[in-house]
């Protein structure tokens, strides 16, 4: 069905750095973003953490919750390599002097199994059994939201990443929502922070690519939306149409028409009805553009069936999938010129705040050690630990949870993912750091990293409108001619 069938409630302004304030209607709220993870026994956990906070231990214990197994396991693929570099850095291997006392670091890793319930359980274990001072977590709402919710209730400082901030904000506190202005409505978490980006950044990353392909191929302005009934999908389904409309109007672009495929269930095996909806399109025009936010296995099934059934949009721009070589090699030729967002790239002019290692050397070393192709989640995982160190520089006692949490919300530094400022006035809320992604396409061949084998497929930066500091590597091309 087209977007006309999905009502927008409320109106307001969206403030976009570089564009100013744009009026639009918006339909967002907690139900649209997914329910908060159920968290029990928080009073008991709070008491345990308070007792732990009084400890005189000279060890700073960091818990790391990550989807080592399950549907999101690709995100955690570089974990062992990244942790080896973090542990080998001077500050983590030799310790850190805080308030006149020398502290050592201990990192404990827990597998969320890509399951929100397991994520909550292992976070509780880290607090009750391990006595962690800080928890860091990554990779999609299924992990980051329940971990953050437990930490917030237990008064444990937490940093998370690789989750749209809108879904995270509403998930950490059941009273929070995204209001008609497009900004965070509710209470700023007192112990939890996060860095990534949200729907406005996705739009500002994808829309320039849509516009270039539209101009080049005379494509129409009808786009297909594949959004599942989960936290990511519901956030995109609610926020994408009004945000796209607002930004397109602000840039004097055309009016876009959405054809919504329906809020399907994760794990669906037959997308024939959705594909037919996209082929039918709107106003007699098939959908020439495509946006989605599915689990990787679901996209593989859908995209294969779409090709078999003859729906081939001019440009596919996808979120949450096609981030990893495993996705690409599984699809083979169907991966050609599929575009997605990129928040870490070896050709970025960024470097580690822990060691000075460049993004290029970071990726090259990963390929040397693991014999695998670099993946962009390695950058955000590394930055989790950079941020912890930056916050600890500002406190006198690393076991003072409130002081550490306050310091996290003030972090402002340059690191492996570029500049991050958790207290910038342009942020949706204090404690939410924004990365500006670039657009990449998967193409046959190998981006050059010195001394490494050629890969059958590689991601190339094809649009840097939102972050011109990252150089272009190839031309943007239609996904299907």
What does the block give as tokens for 465?
């409108």
In a domain, residue 73? The reply is yes
Distances from the Cα of 391 to the Cαs of 157, 177, 403, in angstroms? 11, 27, 9
In a domain, residue 472? The reply is no
Neighbours of 324 (CB within 10 A): 20
Question: Do 276 and 379 belong to one domain?
Answer: no
How many independent structural domains does the chain possess?
Answer: 2
Per residue in 309-329, pLDDT (tens digit) is 999 999 999 998 999 998 899
Question: Do 141 and 182 belong to one domain?
Answer: yes
Q: Give the per-residue pLDDT at 45.
A: 60
Q: Give the per-residue pLDDT at 47.
A: 47
In a domain, residue 82? The reply is yes
In a domain, residue 366? The reply is yes
Question: Do 146 and 267 belong to one domain?
Answer: no
Question: Do 210 and 338 belong to one domain?
Answer: yes
Question: Do 225 and 169 belong to one domain?
Answer: no
Q: Give the per-residue pLDDT at 31.
A: 33
In a domain, residue 314? The reply is yes
Question: Do 166 and 80 belong to one domain?
Answer: yes
What CATH number is attached to the domain comprising 67?
3.40.50.2300
Is the Cβ–Cβ distance between 207 and 242 less than 8 Å? no
Question: Do 187 and 282 belong to one domain?
Answer: no
Question: Do 228 and 326 belong to one domain?
Answer: yes
Residue 140's contacts (CB-CB under 8 Å, 6 or more residues apart) are 67, 72, 75, 114, 162, 163, 232, 320
Question: Do 56 and 148 belong to one domain?
Answer: yes
Question: Do 98 and 148 belong to one domain?
Answer: yes
In a domain, residue 479? The reply is no
What does the block give as tokens for 185?
């409505």
- Look up the domain containing 387 and give its range: 42-197+348-434
Question: Do 101 and 241 belong to one domain?
Answer: no
Question: Do 209 and 172 belong to one domain?
Answer: no
First and final CA of the chain: distance in angstroms? 25
In a domain, residue 481? The reply is no
In the chain, what is the greatest distance between 2 CA atoms, to the nearest angstrom? Answer: 72
Q: Give the per-residue pLDDT at 352.
A: 98
Please identify every stretch of the chain with a pLDDT value under 50, giving residue numbers as ranges: 1-41, 43-44, 47, 50-51, 53-54
What does the block give as tokens for 181?
């202005």
Q: Give the per-residue pLDDT at 3.
A: 45
In a domain, residue 77? The reply is yes
Q: Are strands 457-463 and 438-444 parallel, antiparallel or unpaired?
A: antiparallel
What does the block give as tokens for 445?
């061949």
- Whole-number Å distance between alpha carbons of 4 and 2: 5
């Amino acid at each position: 069905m087209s977007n006309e069938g999905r009502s927008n409630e409320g109106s307001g302004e969206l403030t976009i750095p570089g564009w100013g304030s744009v009026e639009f209607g918006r339909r967002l709220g907690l139900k649209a973003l997914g329910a908060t993870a159920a968290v029990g026994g928080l009073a008991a956990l709070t008491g345990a953490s308070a007792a732990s906070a009084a400890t005189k231990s000279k060890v700073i214990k960091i818990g790391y919750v990550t989807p080592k197994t399950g549907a999101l396991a690709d995100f955690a693929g570089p974990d062992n390599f990244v942790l080896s570099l973090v542990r080998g850095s001077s500050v983590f291997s030799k310790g850190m002097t805080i308030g006149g006392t020398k502290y050592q670091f201990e990192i404990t890793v827990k597998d969320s199994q890509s399951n929100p319930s397991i994520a909550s359980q292992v976070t509780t274990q880290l607090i009750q059994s391990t006595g962690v001072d800080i928890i860091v977590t990554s990779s999609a709402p299924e992990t980051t939201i329940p971990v953050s919710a437990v930490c917030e209730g237990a008064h444990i400082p937490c940093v998370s990443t690789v989750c749209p901030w809108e879904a995270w904000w509403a998930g950490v506190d059941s009273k929070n929502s995204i209001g008609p202005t497009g900004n965070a409505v509710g209470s700023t978490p007192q112990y939890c922070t996060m860095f990534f980006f949200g729907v406005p950044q996705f739009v500002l990353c994808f829309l320039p690519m849509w516009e270039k392909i539209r101009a080049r191929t005379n494509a129409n302005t009808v786009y297909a939306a594949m959004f599942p009934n989960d936290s990511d999908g519901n956030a995109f389904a609610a926020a994408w149409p009004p945000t796209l409309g607002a930004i397109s109007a602000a840039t004097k672009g055309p009016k876009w028409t959405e054809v919504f495929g329906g809020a399907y269930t994760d794990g669906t095996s037959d997308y024939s009805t959705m594909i037919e909806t996209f082929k039918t399109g709107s106003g007699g025009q098939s959908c020439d553009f495509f946006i989605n936010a599915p689990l990787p296995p679901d996209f593989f099934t859908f995209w294969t069936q779409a090709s078999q059934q003859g729906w081939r949009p001019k440009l596919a721009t996808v979120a949450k999938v096609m981030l990893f070589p495993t996705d690409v090699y599984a699809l083979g030729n169907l991966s050609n010129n599929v575009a997605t967002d990129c928040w870490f790239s070896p050709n970025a002019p960024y470097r580690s705040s822990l060691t000075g290692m460049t993004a290029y050397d970071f990726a090259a070393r990963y390929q040397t050690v693991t014999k695998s192709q670099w993946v962009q989640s390695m950058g955000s995982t590394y930055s989790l630990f950079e941020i912890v160190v930056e916050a600890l520089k500002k406190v006198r006692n690393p076991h003072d949870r409130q002081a550490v949490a306050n310091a996290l919300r003030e972090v402002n530094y340059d690191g492996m993912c570029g500049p991050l400022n958790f207290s910038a006035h342009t942020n949706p809320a204090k404690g939410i750091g924004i990365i500006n992604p670039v657009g990449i396409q998967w193409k046959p061949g190998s981006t050059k990293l010195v001394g490494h084998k050629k890969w059958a497929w590689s991601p190339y930066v094809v649009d840097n409108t939102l972050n011109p500091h990252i150089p272009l590597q190839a031309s943007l091309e239609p996904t299907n001619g």
